[in-house]
Amino acid sequence: MQRPTSIVVLTGAGISAESGVDTFRDKDGIWSKIDYRDVATPEGFARNPELVDDFYNQRRAGLADVAPNAAHVALARLERQFRGKFLLVTQNIDDLHERAGSQRLIHMHGELTKALCAHCRARNTWHGDMLRTSRCPSCLEVRQLRPDVVWFGEMPYLMDEIDEALASCDLFVSIGTSGNVYPAAGFVEQARHAGARTVELNLEPSEGYDLFEQAINGRATEIVPEFVEHILA
Ligand code: APR
């Protein structure tokens, strides 16, 4: 295997599954219990903001009961020890990558621990419940806050930075994602177009598994540390 010089890693809900954070589309996944149109679209938020507040308040409170697992830790190690360019792009809104020590990290779908103000557009760290009566820490307006999460139909964050990294990487690794949601599901083709080697690490083959040069199936806490060891060896 040729030594990579520039790596982009994409993660999804599967990397946090063994920490106790539910995935979306697996059996008993989040979207089997609640309709995404009610809690993950701007229209759903306009219809019933209290329902949306409650949904993300529960998920935010749940962060206190979970911790990074061996897969999160292995990626933080890769970032620290890898001598080339490295970028970790996550679709996850949990804070487990940061808590494992990752720094070169983009939350393309936002973060549970942030609030976005519709009035002044400020994004502030947010812990605890968000209610309609909550005040924006920047402009002090009420009824203007929403979870800083990118909903269906909205543009993910920092796409220019992500596209640039994909265009110059020579190794693209996708971990714990079903490949259902764009633009993330299209990253493998962007990386291939740039001539990068492409590897999928997932419990089972994803929607786009055949777009990858190599696919390794198994639990993230087992296959990710092994793969990182292999790269650093
Ligand atoms: N180890 C590795 N992979 C796993 C594990 C595990 N322990 N458990 C589940 N997986 C895999 C599943 O096989 C599945 O392919 O993780 C994937 C999870 O897929 P989804 O639930 O669809 O989550 P994700 O791909 O991250 O969803 C993308 O969709 O709902 C929106 O905005 C939300 O960011 C999310 C986006």
Per residue in 207-233, pLDDT (tens digit) is 999 999 999 999 999 999 999 999 999
Q: Per-residue pLDDT for 107 more than 80?
A: yes
For residue 226, give Cα distances in angstroms to 1, 74, 109.
15, 9, 27
Catalytic annotation, pick one of 72, 97, 109, 119: 109
Task: Tell the burial category of 65 from Cβ atoms under 10 Å away from its Cβ (0-12, 13-18, 19+).
Answer: exposed
Predicted model pTM: 0.98
| pLDDT of 1 | 61
pLDDT band (50, 70, 90) for residue 2: confident
Q: Quick one: which atom of ligand 1 is closest to the CA of 179?
A: 25
C-alpha 191 to ligand 1 mean position (Å):
20
Ligand 1 atom closest to Cα of 26?
A: 21
Edge-first strand listing for the sheet containing 123-125: 123-125, 110-117, 145-149
**Closest C-alpha residue for ligand 1 atom 21:** 24
Amino acid at 45: F
Helix, strand, or coil (residue 181): coil
Give the residue, by CA position, lying nearest to ligand 1 atom 10: 14
Task: Please name the residue whose Cα sits nearest to atom 35 of ligand 1.
Answer: 91
Best probe residue, ligand 1, of 92, 148, 177, 226 (max atoms within 8 Å of C-beta): 177
Q: What's the 120 CA to ligand 1 centre distance in angstroms?
A: 33
Looking at residues 11-39, what average pLDDT do you find? 97
Residue pLDDT, tens place only, 153-197: 999 999 999 999 999 999 999 999 999 999 999 999 999 999 999
**Which tokens go with 169?**
């990487």
- The type of residue at 151 is W
**Could you tell me whether strands 123-125 and 110-117 are parallel, antiparallel, or unpaired per DSSP bridges?**
antiparallel
Choice from 22, 25, 33 to test ligand 1 binding pocket (greatest atom count within 8 A of CB):
25
The pLDDT > 70 percentage for the chain reads: 100
72 is catalytic: no
Cis peptide before 49 (omega within 30 of 0): no
Going from the Cα of 214 to the center of ligand 1, the distance in angstroms, rounded, reads 18
215 Cα–ligand 1 center, Å:
15
